[in-house]
Amino acid sequence: MKINYVVREYREGDEVQINDLFNQVFQQKRTLMEWEWKFKENPHSDLHLITVAEDADKIVGHYASIPVFMQCGSERFLFAYPVDTFVHPDYRNLKIISDLYSVHKEIGAKRGYIGAFGFPNEQAYAVGKRLLGYYDLLKLSNLYCRLNWRQPVKRRLKGIPVSLEKAIQKASSKYYSVYFSKRSSKFQVIHDYIFDERVNRLWERAQQHFSTLCIRDLPYLTWRYMSNPLKAYNILAVGDEEINGYLVYRIREDNGTYEGVIVDCLWDDEAALKALLTAGLYRFSKGGVDYAVLRTQKSTALYMVATQIGFQERGGIEDIPVVYHLIKQHDALEKAVKAPSLWYFTYGDSDGI
């Protein structure tokens, strides 16, 4: 295991080696355009948060974060969201991760970051708890809503004809779409909404209903969901002259199963939230989606409204941990982390989906 390396900040041009190493480690084909979107085009872009380990002019390790503004009560704080931690196989050990993190944390403190949060996978969670000072904040539950009987029938009746499978899918889609269309509300649904200034006014109203959450203003939402070169998102909204809520979703295929993923949403009252979720389920069922999924924390309005209209937890699916680390002490945040039920996170607060 090689241990000769120097840890330093990002320098212009490093992205070529960084991206090559990323693709090698994760067996991906990420383009430089995608890297630039993620790190340079972010409305709060800060390339100082990219830390690399280098040996003989070769980048062999990487620890980076995306800057995120969090609203906590009436205050705003600059947080870092760690992404893309990876090390060349020849240098892989806990010391290089620790060295990368130490330099990264020092840089963050100098640049005014007050803390970090993340959604680590099982391996990263173990390393973070042991080595990087992660603290548990809360867990997010995965909720599911069945929208089609095609897959259950296929599991029970092995080898059913394709024609019968398609007939079941079509009939199920018709049933569920009619069901959700009858649950319409007073709100007008905009099915192909494009984020505009109305979403800033929604944010100003909606943030008052949450204790702590990532800021969802027009520049952030435009970057996150409308300019991603890799993924296309669908957006619907409820309202008319003003927007009372928005919902971001994707339909994806996984081994022949179609999922409607609710990536993010924001609303100004629970009636608008119910209208958003119902409109989303209607859109999914019309498209032949097998089931809808969303991620949220128990005891929140999103969890309660979603379970009222048909979502439920699926047995055997682990909750997703959310971890945090405070670089600087602050009374409001020290109080906030002791009340995790008041935080709001969705799929969209990560860099996935």
β-bridge partners, 79:
68, 115
Cβ distance 145 to 313 under 8 Å? Answer: no
* pLDDT, mean of residues 234-253: 96
pLDDT band at 89 (very low <50, low <70, confident <90, very high): very high
Average pLDDT, the chain: 93
pLDDT for position 23: 97
Would the pLDDT of 2 be above 80?
A: no
Closest CA to 142 of 348, 331, 319, 310: 319
Query: Which of 158-172, 191-205, 332-346 is predicted most confidently?
Result: 191-205
74 φ/ψ angles, rounded to the nearest 5 degrees:
-95, 5
State the Cα–Cα distance between residues 29 and 184, nearest whole angstrom: 43
Q: pLDDT tens digits for 96-140?
A: 999 999 999 999 999 999 999 999 988 889 989 988 889 999 999
Rg of the chain over Cα atoms, rounded to whole angstroms, equals 22
Would the pLDDT of 37 be above 90?
A: yes
Helix (H) or strand (E) holding 302: helix 301-308
> What is the three-class DSSP state of 96?
helix
Q: pLDDT tens digits for 44-78?
A: 999 999 999 999 999 999 999 999 999 998 899 99
State the Cα–Cα distance between residues 259 and 145, nearest whole angstrom: 10
> Which numeric CATH code is attached to 141-319?
3.40.630.30
pLDDT for position 82: 94
pLDDT for position 56: 93
Least confident of 8-12, 131-135, 180-184, 341-345: 180-184
Helix (H), strand (E), coil (C) string for 135-155 = EEEEEEEEEEEECCCHHHHHH
pLDDT for position 169: 86
pLDDT band at 282 (very low <50, low <70, confident <90, very high): very high
Q: pLDDT tens digits for 298-327?
A: 989 999 999 999 999 987 788 999 999 999
Q: Residue length, the chain?
A: 353
pLDDT for position 104: 96
Higher pLDDT, 275 or 329: 275
290 φ/ψ angles, rounded to the nearest 5 degrees:
-75, -45
Would the pLDDT of 346 be above 90?
A: yes
* pLDDT, mean of residues 75-97: 94
Closest CA to 334 of 101, 8, 73, 85: 73
State the Cα–Cα distance between residues 230 and 189, nearest whole angstrom: 27
State the Cα–Cα distance between residues 8 and 18, nearest whole angstrom: 13
Provide the CA 97 distance to its chain's centre, in angstroms.
Answer: 24
DSSP string, 191-223: TT----HHHHHHHHHHGGG-SEEE---HHHHII
Total-model pTM: 0.93
pLDDT for position 255: 84
Q: Which fold has domain 6-113?
A: Aminopeptidase (3.40.630)
- Give the residue extent of every domain in the chain: 6-113, 141-319
Would the pLDDT of 183 be above 90?
A: no
Would the pLDDT of 1 be above 80?
A: no
Would the pLDDT of 184 be above 90?
A: no
Cβ distance 268 to 244 under 8 Å? Answer: yes
- CA-CA distances (angstroms) from residue 72 to 136, 155, 168, 267, 334? 18, 47, 48, 17, 11
pLDDT for position 299: 83
Helix (H), strand (E), coil (C) string for 231-287 = CCCEEEEEECCCEEEEEEEEEEEECCEEEEEEEEEEECCHHHHHHHHHHHHHHHHHC
Higher pLDDT, 117 or 2: 117
Cβ distance 142 to 295 under 8 Å? Answer: yes
Closest CA to 266 of 196, 341, 191, 209: 209
pLDDT for position 223: 97
Which residues make Cβ contacts (< 8 Å) with residue 159, sequence separation at least 6?
A: none
- Do the domains 141-319 and 6-113 match in fold? yes
CA dihedral 270, 272, 273, 279 (to 10 degrees): 150
Helix (H) or strand (E) holding 37: helix 32-39
pLDDT for position 22: 97
